[in-house]
Chain A
Amino acid sequence: MISRRDFLKMAAAAAGAAALPAAFARGAESDRPNIVIFLCDAFSARHASLYGYPRRTTPFLDQFAEKATVYHNHYSGSNYTTTGTASMLTGMLPWKHRAINYGGLVAREFAHDNPFTLLGSAYERLAFAQNPWPERLMGQYSGDVDRFLSYYSYSLLHAGPAQNLFQNDFAVASVALDDFSMAAQHGAYPGSSIFDYLFKSAVLSAPDDRRAIRYRAGFPEIMDPGYYVPYLNEEVYDGVFNEITDLQAGGKPYFAYFHLYSPHFPYRPRNDYRQRFNGDGYVPVVKPVHPLAGGDGLSQDYLNGQHDLYDRQISQIDDEFGFLLSRLESSGALDNTYFIFTSDHGELFERGFVGHGFQFLYEPVVKIPLIIRAPGQTRRVDVDAPTSNTDILPTLLSIANKEIPAELDGLVLPELGGTADPDRAIFSMVAVDNSSFGPLYKAVVSMRKGIYKIIGYFGYDLEDEFELFHLDDDPEELNSLVKKSPDVFSLMKDELLAGLNESNKPFLR
């Protein structure tokens, strides 16, 4: 039976579609294709049925992929938002762009390397990051964004953040106000006392409303950096549709970047998803606790519980994505649009650890989905060659016929103008404990090359500084081959260290 909400959505979609043809006709006059990046934060490719996950978590993504290019070995430059997103937006590896600390910023000399600035004013440019950290990254060039939505947009809170007053100095104001003055929620001492108290009282009291009945375990919330901002995916996805509709109506080619928070922790699927996958017999592989997980790590029961919740959250957003896609398709909004579905990093439920960040670079936390539908694409294309999210920016520039700056590390993606290189070295790294102004002494760096992956732990007190895995034979990364395959290890290690040393050179002068 059709629910009231679905009926209203379909009615709105029909009304929107009826009102749009004239606007789309104007949009079609331009030769330049529109570009939409649709990014779901913390979405691990390893949890998507599209990529072979046993649970059917993403039927609508599977459907979308039927007329799109699917990249099967796509890696984030890092394992958490700031660094991973900065890699995608700058087309550079973290050891170059230097947004390596939680909530950090891209080095000033590379801040202009971003899609908004490089695509230029020929495009109408929209940025909406529900996560304040990527919002801050884009705040470094907010002058090049035509419509810059705050992370509060489409949330259950109607109060705008204070830094809306400071659009010309967005990035710095965001750190000063979000991270410092009003950031008591993470156990840190807030810089402001009275304002923080008033803000906290207002923010935390706000979300009690009738919609709570559909979320018995609480609303999903944006948790970084200062306060937990509740939101509903239904309303956020409606907002995305409305924004794209408005851009279409504008008649100008557009570039839109949507960085949506779900399925990021805390995993709070709606009630009707909370039993999904119960009793389906799927049991995650149990892996030994990593020495950096801290003590005995989290219990396997807890890990499995969070794992299930995460899958349910993904399942819900897949449904929302499916509904959004059907509306966009029926309205014609995708006819002249490159639509890119991806993430900034994955999520981990193993080795005594839940979440992302910290010092882990195993596949579930760095392997992310990348599905790109080109205008008029009618069949599925699968790309197995490893790719990096640093490839997104050069690919966008290639699509838009713009010059690709020489300093970018990324390459144009295969099937979109680039060539597949199965032996290309793909790096990911996390260096939150390292200064962004110095050489990387304390960092974890991984390199995938061909079927092998090496992980190096630098500056950590570990018995084994390196791990080496054969990803075809050992996709769960359980058996390190450091001692068993010394030749491969030596080659991989040398290349990894060469990359690291090269990146450190500018800081050693």
Chain B
Amino acid sequence: MMGARERMRQERKWTIVVFNVLLLVAALVQIYGLHIRGRQDLISAARSAVVEFVE
């Protein structure tokens, strides 16, 4: 059985992995949403998404 410290370390590691996956999906959703609404091409939508995020 995993020790408490090791378990917490594993939890943190997996949290970061899953968080990054979710972040990626959220970015794709946002880009696609901008693309659908603004009738932009995906590249422009991605650029808009980045600008919005930075702002």
**A pairs with B:** no
